[in-house]
């Protein structure tokens, strides 16, 4: 199957997980698809965060007593702690190379392969 056939056909999740690229172009395509899925996952997470927190704000405003201020700590717990999780998700999607460096996975794989090769009794 050519690269164009792979691009044109929609692979199901299991086929995509077990996909092994046969050349550099397919490997780049596979990495690009993985990156797009991570970004899409983050945007979905951010949209759900916004919708749910807007609903919580509306419910909290409707439940206010006369003269009561909205700006109380318990009204912001969900937004704050979920926001921390959303921030962590954003950092993992948009700054993955910041902590481990560029091509960390490839370097680690090569390191383990070299260790395995050195430990064989040939």
Q: What are phi and psi of 68, to 5 degrees?
A: -80, 140
Q: What is the pLDDT of residues 98-116, one digit of tens each?
A: 766 667 777 888 888 888 8
> If phi over 0 gives left and psi between -120 and 50 gives alpha, with beta otherwise, what is residue 87?
alpha
Rounded to whole angstroms, what are the CA distances from 69 to 36, 41, 75, 78, 84?
Answer: 42, 35, 10, 18, 25
Q: What is the pLDDT of residues 20-77, one digit of tens each?
A: 778 888 888 888 888 899 999 999 999 999 999 999 999 988 888 888 888 888 888 9
3-state secondary structure of 3: helix
């Amino acid at each position: 199957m050519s690269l164009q056939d792979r691009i044109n056909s929609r692979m199901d999740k299991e086929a995509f997980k077990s996909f092994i690229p046969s050349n550099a172009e397919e490997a780049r395509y596979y990495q690009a698809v993985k990156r797009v899925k991570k970004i899409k996952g983050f945007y979905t997470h951010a949209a759900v965060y916004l919708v749910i927190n807007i609903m919580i704000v509306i419910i909290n405003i409707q439940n206010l007593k006369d003269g009561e201020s909205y700006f109380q700590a318990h009204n912001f717990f969900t937004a704050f702690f979920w926001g921390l999780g959303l921030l962590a998700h954003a950092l993992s999607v948009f700054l993955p190379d910041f902590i481990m460096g560029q091509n960390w996975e490839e370097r680690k794989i090569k390191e383990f392969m070299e260790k395995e090769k050195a430990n064989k009794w040939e």
